[in-house]
A and B are shown apart, each in its own frame.
Chain A
Amino acid sequence: DAGVIQSPRHEVTEMGQEVTLRCKPISGHDYLFWYRQTMMRGLELLIYFNNNVPIDDSGMPEDRFSAKMPNASFSTLKIQPSEPRDSAVYFCASSIYRGLSYGYTFGSGTRLTVV
């Protein structure tokens, strides 16, 4: 099992540009989560999906952020336009849930720098 796969690992972009982060969850996992991590705010949940359907996007900072999960094996997080304050590490995680969680499996993250 290759685990949760995120790409790219690093992204440096200029302010105003569109950024797309990608995630492939573990096969068979029915939940997918997008987190953002910064020193100041720690790990913040942005949005999560259950069976490809967005369940809670209350953590998405603003309209510049959008996320999709077109199928069970792929999700994207898009920032348009990007701003320097979006600089952070973005993690995707997946899990299986049967009335009780069995823990999340995180990807290696995408380190985003907006200059």
Chain B
Amino acid sequence: GQQVMQIPQYQHVQEGEDFTTYCNSSTTLSNIQWYKQRPGGHPVFLIQLVKSGEVKKQKRLTFQFGEAKKNSSLHITATQTTDVGTYFCAHQGAGNMLTFGGGTRLMVKP
């Protein structure tokens, strides 16, 4: 499947600070999905983006799909300790097969 690269790999923030993770591809993506995995847990589906320039919000989380559909971002406003975990982007390729990025591990200092 198409490769998606995520940066940064790790991010430490103070509680209340904002956080952003980026997902990039060298080729056009048909869609992007975002997942969150809590420490010791399993990935949980957050959202899917399919349209060029699409922006979706879930409370303090804002998801964007780039105009060229080659990149995506997840932004968390005013992080809380409950936001701790690893955030993955994933691209759905042919046949409903998801290819995951390497993930960004978010750590929040209270």
List residues of A whose CB falls within 8 A of some B CB.
31, 33, 42-43, 45, 48, 50, 55-56, 91, 93, 95, 97, 100-109
The CA-CA distance from A100 to B20 in the complex, in Å, is 26
- The minimal Cβ–Cβ distance linking B24 to chain A, given in whole angstroms, is 16
A56–B97 CB distance below 8 A: yes
Specify which chain A residues have a CB less than 8 angstroms from the CB of B100 in the assembled complex.
42-43
A109–B48 CB distance below 8 A: no
A-B contact pairs, 6 of them (CB 8 A): A56-B95, A91-B42, A100-B50, A100-B92, A101-B48, A104-B35
| Interface presence of B103 (CB below 8 A) | yes
B43–A101 CB distance below 8 A: no
A50–B42 CB distance below 8 A: no
B96–A91 CB distance below 8 A: no
Given contacts A42-B100, A50-B96, contact A101 B31 (CB under 8 A): yes
Number of interface residues of B (CB under 8 A): 20
Specify which chain B residues have a CB less than 8 angstroms from the CB of A45 in the assembled complex.
97-99
| Inter-chain residue pair count (beta carbon < 8 A) | 52
The CA-CA distance from A105 to B44 in the complex, in Å, is 7
A107–B42 CB distance below 8 A: yes
Specify which chain B residues have a CB less than 8 angstroms from the CB of A107 in the assembled complex.
42
- The minimal Cβ–Cβ distance linking A91 to chain B, given in whole angstroms, is 6
Which 8 A-B pairs rank lowest in CB-CB distance, beginning with the nearest?
A: A103-B45, A97-B96, A106-B42, A43-B100, A101-B92, A106-B43, A42-B102, A31-B96
B95–A55 CB distance below 8 A: yes
A108–B42 CB distance below 8 A: yes
- The minimal Cβ–Cβ distance linking B5 to chain A, given in whole angstroms, is 12
Contact of A42 among B31, B48, B50, B103 (CB under 8 A): B103
- The minimal Cβ–Cβ distance linking A25 to chain B, given in whole angstroms, is 13
The CA-CA distance from A85 to B89 in the complex, in Å, is 26
| Interface presence of B65 (CB below 8 A) | no
The CA-CA distance from A45 to B96 in the complex, in Å, is 12
- The minimal Cβ–Cβ distance linking B33 to chain A, given in whole angstroms, is 6
Specify which chain A residues have a CB less than 8 angstroms from the CB of B103 in the assembled complex.
42-43
| Interface presence of B88 (CB below 8 A) | yes
